[in-house]
């Protein structure tokens, strides 16, 4: 089984709808992250969490919110989706420390019409 799972894998929605993307990990890591990927831009950090009680904004958090329900679960919400939020979204987890390796989920492709 995959260490990091994301649901759904694909989602098409309409402008103004509320959307939740879910992420679960079985690696036992404290740190979890949400990124979005747009062509030619690499990955941009939306939110990150270093433990269940710690939530931090990344470089592009506007229009998004998150919830860390448990060590293993980290959800990303779009309160009112807009077309420029169409992107590939990745969840990742890491243990922390020097040379911290991130483990990525398979991604969620979100299209906002």
Reading the block at residue 85, the tokens are 């939020």
Contact partners, residue 35, CB within 8 Å, separation at least 6? 43, 44, 45, 46, 58, 89, 90, 91, 92
Q: Between 16 and 106, whose beta carbon lies closer to other proteins?
A: 106
Q: Which is nearer to other proteins, 32 or 112 (CB)?
A: 32
For other proteins, the binding residues in 22-41 under the rule CB under 8 A are 31, 33, 35, 40-41
Copy the structure tokens of residue 61. Answer: 């958090």
Under 8 Å CB-to-CB from 98, ≥6 apart: which residues?
none
59 binds other proteins (CB under 8 A): yes
Interaction between residue 90 and other proteins (CB under 8 A): yes
Q: What gap in Å lies between CA 15 and CA 19, rounded to an integer?
A: 10
Stretch 94-113: interaction string toward other proteins, x if CB under 8 A: ---xxxxxxxxxxx------
Q: Applying CB under 8 A, which residues contact other proteins? A: 4, 31, 33, 35, 40-45, 48, 50, 56, 58-59, 90, 92, 97-107
């Amino acid at each position: 089984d995959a260490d990091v799972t994301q649901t759904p894998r694909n989602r098409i929605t309409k402008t103004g709808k509320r959307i939740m993307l879910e992420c679960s990990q079985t690696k036992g890591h404290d740190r979890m992250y949400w990124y979005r990927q747009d062509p030619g831009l690499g990955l941009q950090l939306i939110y990150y969490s270093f433990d269940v009680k710690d939530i931090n904004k990344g470089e592009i958090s506007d229009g998004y919110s998150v919830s860390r329900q448990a060590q293993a679960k980290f959800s990303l919400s779009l309160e009112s989706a807009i077309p420029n939020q169409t992107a590939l979204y990745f969840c990742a987890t890491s243990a922390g420390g020097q040379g911290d390796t991130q483990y990525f989920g398979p991604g969620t492709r979100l299209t906002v019409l």
